[in-house]
Amino acid sequence: MTQLDPELPGDYAAALTALTTLVREAQYRVQRVVNTAMIELYWNIGRVILDRQQNEPWGSKVLDRLARDLRAEFPHMKGFSRTNLYNMRAFAAAWNGPEPIVQTPSGQLSWSHNVALLNKLPDHELQRWYASKAVEHGWSVAVLEHQILTQLHQRTGAAPNNLEARLPGEGTALAREVAKDPLVLDFLGLTEEAEELAIEQAMTLRMSQTLAEFGKGFAFYGRQYHLDVQGEDFYIDLLLVHVPSNRFVVVELKAGKFKPEHLGQLNFYVSAVNDLVRFPGMAPTVGILVCGSKHEPTVRYALDGSSQPVAVASYTYDTLPPEEREALPSPEAITAALEQHAAENMPNNE
């Protein structure tokens, strides 16, 4: 922190803070303008290449020469590699509609985002879907690639739930926000045999990634959140807040297969949070049960008898390719971290 001269005016610190904010906002606007100009330039270059290839023999040798000549003409620009020219051509081919490229979702993303979309998604509708989600949620390139690899478009809103039945009018939209199935927890570095406490601790250690997997607008409120029910102690595995709908979300973790009695416990926690924790003006609490596996008919029967709005999601560790999984921490490293974390942070449940 800057040490201020005692002889400076009393409002100097406030003025400095305001000016710093103005400078940073201007820098951000400039970056946005530069990014938009670059996206438009790359789309136009790709469009020219496509047009020429329709009328002339513009094969790989011509593109090799074009890359060399552009780099010679603009030595300080790094975007004119042969590979990038191919990406520009693919970019123009993918976004060839009547709307200007700057008005599309891709026009609001970085070039790195667009290259990931082009290289990992052959279908243009999926490219548009993921581009829109990346803009909406502000995903980094790494998060975008993770969501593509784990097929978010197939998982969104897929978890069995009774949210529409228990929250008429808002349950359908809420299900799309919070009821993903399966939750993909590869980044935790755990095996399928992981116990609930290890899953919970690993989630907490990597909470930012966990919240990204749950969806947009989740905030961490507590782990092993203590409920005092007239002298009896209970502990919620994870208590989150879904900021857009202004409600608590109770997350219960079960390492094994779903059992109907799991929903009884979750219903109890949701009711208790509504009564003991929820603030005035907040929407009703919902619950998510995350289990290792589930039998769909059993889940449906249990949901029919559930008094609270809840969803049931399974988790999976096997969706990432081997090369991606190799980048995860070793089981030994995770185990050591969890043991240390448990020793320092495990609440007393007795």
Answer with the one of 100, 116, 149 that is the final residue of a domain.
149
Give the residue numbers spanning the domain of 19.
Answer: 12-149
Segment 255-279 shows an average pLDDT of 85
* Pairing status of strand 218-229 against strand 232-242: antiparallel
Residue for token digits 């202004």? 246
Q: Are residues 128 and 191 in the same domain?
A: no
Task: For residue 72, tell me if it sits in a domain.
Answer: yes
Q: Measured between alpha carbons, how far is 51 from 306 in angstroms, rounded to an integer?
A: 60
Core vs surface per residue 308-327: b (16+ CB within 10 A) or e: bbbbbbbbbbebbeeeeeee
**Residue environment code for 175-205, b if the CB has 16+ CB neighbours within 10 A, otherwise e:** bebbbbbbbbbbbbbbeeebebebbbbbbbb
Does residue 225 lie in a domain region?
yes
- Between the ranges 78-87, 149-158, 313-322, where is the mean pLDDT highest? 78-87
Residue 277 within any structural domain of the chain: yes
The stretch 63-92 carries a mean pLDDT of: 90
Within this chain, do residues 263 and 178 fall inside the same structural domain, yes or no?
A: yes
Measure the CA angle with vertex 274, ends 228 and 215; round to 5°.
Answer: 110
**Same domain, yes or no: 173 and 211:** yes
Model confidence at 320: pLDDT above 70: no
Q: Which of 39-48, 57-66, 68-77, 175-184 has the highest mean pLDDT?
A: 39-48
In a domain, 2, yes or no: no
pLDDT in tens, 174-219: 555 555 555 545 544 444 444 556 555 655 555 555 666 666 777 8
Q: Is residue 99 part of a domain?
A: yes
Residue 261 has pLDDT above 70, yes or no: yes
Does residue 333 sit in the same domain as residue 235?
yes
Range in 29-43, 220-234, 274-288, 293-307 the model is least confident about: 293-307
* pTM given for the model: 0.48
Strand order in the sheet with 183-184: 183-184, 310-316, 286-293, 247-257, 232-242, 218-229
Residues 289 and 187 in one domain: yes
**168: preceding bond cis by omega (within 30 degrees):** no
Q: Which two tokens stand for residue 45?
A: 């270059």
* CATH at residue 290: 3.40.1350.10
Q: How confident is the model at residue 241 (pLDDT cuts 50, 70, 90)?
A: confident
- 164 and 211 part of one domain: yes
What is the residue type of 327? A
Which value, in Å, is the radius of gyration of the alpha carbons in the chain? 25
* Residue 65 clears pLDDT 80, i.e. is over it: yes
Task: Quickly state the pLDDT bin for 327 (edges 50, 70, 90).
Answer: very low
Last residue of a domain, one of 149, 174, 196: 149
E strands in the chain? 183-184, 218-229, 232-242, 247-257, 286-293, 310-316
In the chain, % of residues over pLDDT 70 = 68
234 with 287, same domain: the answer is yes
Q: How confident is the model at residue 145 (pLDDT cuts 50, 70, 90)?
A: confident
CA neighbor of 120 nearest in space, from 317, 316, 322, 321: 321
The residue ranking higher by pLDDT, 202 or 56, is 56
Picking from 77-86, 126-135, 246-255, which range would have the lowest pLDDT averaged per residue?
246-255
Residue percentage of the chain with pLDDT more than 90: 16
Kindly state whether residues 255 and 186 are assigned to the same domain.
Answer: yes
Residue 5 lies in a domain: no
Contact 308, 266 (CB under 8 A): yes
Which range, of 155-164, 180-189, 258-267, averages the lowest pLDDT? 180-189
User: Residue 270 pLDDT > 80, yes or no?
Assistant: yes
pLDDT, average across residues 323-338: 38
Q: Are residues 162 and 144 in the same domain?
A: no
Number of domains in the chain: 2
Higher-confidence residue: 76 or 225?
225
Better-predicted residue by pLDDT, 106 or 259 = 106
* Mean pLDDT value of segment 320-330: 38
